[in-house]
């Protein structure tokens, strides 16, 4: 379909090579499916689970995003096979165990510090090191000149919990996602949300399409001029809850 710009499609992603950490499950799987279904040249999944997708363009690499040596090995594999990437999606994340109100004080104080900081390790530190591990391949993608977006980019999965004043997913999760949001202000973080239906102004639960659409927008020529955006996909939840957004 010809657009007003004369380009075949503003949302075309057929030329891009993508790396998705945690791309074999949950939100990462939705992103992988969106890119593969819309003709991405290659989608590398970095994770600890077997890929459940059978497309030839989807390639699984076993990699723990919190392990620097594993990240270097993944970079070396992709460099040898393809030589560049156009888009890095830093999606890996974790949620710590929750607790009841009656256990709150004991939980907040008695959880080992290592368990608390491990959430930061996955949600924040791993995003930082993953981004810089792939910096050379992103630069090679720029020099390759084939990316429809114009310049290589990084997209990170954060959470609307980073803006919530009501701690619904635990202090470690909310504050670690806030760190991710602020760290990615130079790129494009997507702020995901999942809440009870009666607390969502959109009056429905989110669907895979609700993350696939924003991703294709940011990954394609359509979103090429957007930078530093926090894309909220929470159905309007932050408009009806105490928040700093």
Q: Indicate which residues carry an active-site annotation.
A: 158, 173, 177
Residue tagged 């949620």 (tokens): 95
Segment 179-186 long-range contacts (CB within 8 Å, at least 24 positions apart): 179/120, 179/123, 179/124, 180/123, 180/124, 180/127, 180/156, 181/230, 183/124, 183/127, 183/128, 183/156, 184/90, 184/127, 184/154, 184/156, 184/158, 185/228, 186/227, 186/228
Secondary structure class of 47 (helix, strand, coil): strand
Sign of the CA dihedral with 142 first, then 143, 149, and 150 last: positive
How big is the chain, counted in residues? 245
Measure the CA–CA gap between 129 and 19, rounded to whole angstroms: 14
Residue tagged 């940011």 (tokens): 218
Measure the CA–CA gap between 243 and 220, rounded to whole angstroms: 30
């Amino acid at each position: 379909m010809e657009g007003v710009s004369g380009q075949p499609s503003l949302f075309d992603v057929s030329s891009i090579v993508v790396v998705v950490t945690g791309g074999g499950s949950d939100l990462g799987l939705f992103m992988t499916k969106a890119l593969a279904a819309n003709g991405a040249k290659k989608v590398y999944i970095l994770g600890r689970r077997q890929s459940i997708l059978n497309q030839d363009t989807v390639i699984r690499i076993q990699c723990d995003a919190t392990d620097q040596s594993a990240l270097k090995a993944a970079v070396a594999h992709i460099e040898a096979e393809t030589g560049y990437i156009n888009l890095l999606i830093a999606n890996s994340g974790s949620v710590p165990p929750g607790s009841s109100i009656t256990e709150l004080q004991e939980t907040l104080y008695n959880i080992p510090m290592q368990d608390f900081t491990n959430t930061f390790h996955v949600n924040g530190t791993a995003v930082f090191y993953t981004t810089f591990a792939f910096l050379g391949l992103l630069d090679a993608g720029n020099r390759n000149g084939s990316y429809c977006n114009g310049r290589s980019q990084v997209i990170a999965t954060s959470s609307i919990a980073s803006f919530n004043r009501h701690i619904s997913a635990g202090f470690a999760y909310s504050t670690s996602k806030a760190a991710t949001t602020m760290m990615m202000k130079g790129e494009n973080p997507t702020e995901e949300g999942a809440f009870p239906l009666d607390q969502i102004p959109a009056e429905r639960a989110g669907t895979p399409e609700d993350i696939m659409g924003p991703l294709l927008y940011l990954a394609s020529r359509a979103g090429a001029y957007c930078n530093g955006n926090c894309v909220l996909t929470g159905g309007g939840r932050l408009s009806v809850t105490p928040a700093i957004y």
